[in-house]
Amino acid sequence: MVLTALVPACLAGWLIWDSMGDPENGDAGSRPTADSTSIAPPHSGGPPGTATKRPKDDAARPLAGKVVVIDPGHNPTNRDHPSRIARSVDIGTATKECDTTGTATNSGYAEASFTLDVSRRVRALLQARGAKVVLTQDGDRAYGPCVDERAEIGNEAHADAAVSVHADGAAAGQRGFHVILPASVRGGGADTSGITGPSRRLGERLVREFRAATGSEPANYMGDGTGLKVRDDLGGLNLSTVPKVFIECGNMRDPKDAAQLTDAAWRERAARGITQGITDFLNG
């Protein structure tokens, strides 16, 4: 009789305690699920519900603590603000247009739409690897930003690497991708002496990984087959104080390249190539 009475009483007491949850974690009534990041150790020595955090898988987040700036070239609505993007800005050694509309395929697919799509894909992949990613624009500006501001965004973020995403507008038959490196420039507000070396290393890794991911070949119309081109006339490079390159992912005016650039599956491969190139550079 005594045992029979004790069982319901104990059960009722346990149900009251369970409904209160763990007041330290503020999760009344909650319990870890199969997807939880917490697990209860088999012999924790603490009260029921005490949890221990799983250690982070550092191998899955190789870019934790790194800052990457991705610069989607041009802007889909630049065309609506011709006078504003045409104004001159200082690029250190000269002046240049604030921005341009970019090129497009013969069917009308704009470079600015391509660059924004690929940049967003790169951002998602880099974030999955633990990086903090800053986009210079995310389709949230009326125009631009201007080329000098694009450089400044990377500088202010103290980026470990910055990549400007573009596609070229060369003649039909001129195919392939290339990476533009900053020349050694010093004048006015420009001084690339501290970034030319690391920018070249970033560019070389991008060429290797972009080629492997997409199957595309380095440009057949510049760079002597290396996929690398040095320039001193781009404000986004001249004014940068962090390692930075441009990647021209293909020629939008060549039908064969355009077929790739307009294909979403190919753009995902392009994003993976860019992401891996950045990762290789940052992991040294």
Catalytic residue IDs: 248
Instruction: List helix spans (H) across the chain.
Output: 2-20, 82-86, 111-128, 147-156, 196-214, 235-238, 255-261, 264-282
- As a whole number of angstroms, the distance between CA 239 and CA 242 comes to 9
Amino acid at 95: T
Q: Coil, helix or strand for 79? A: helix
Amino acid at 120: R
Contact 279, 205 (CB under 8 A): no
CA dihedral in degrees (189, 195, 197, 203; nearest 10)?
A: -110
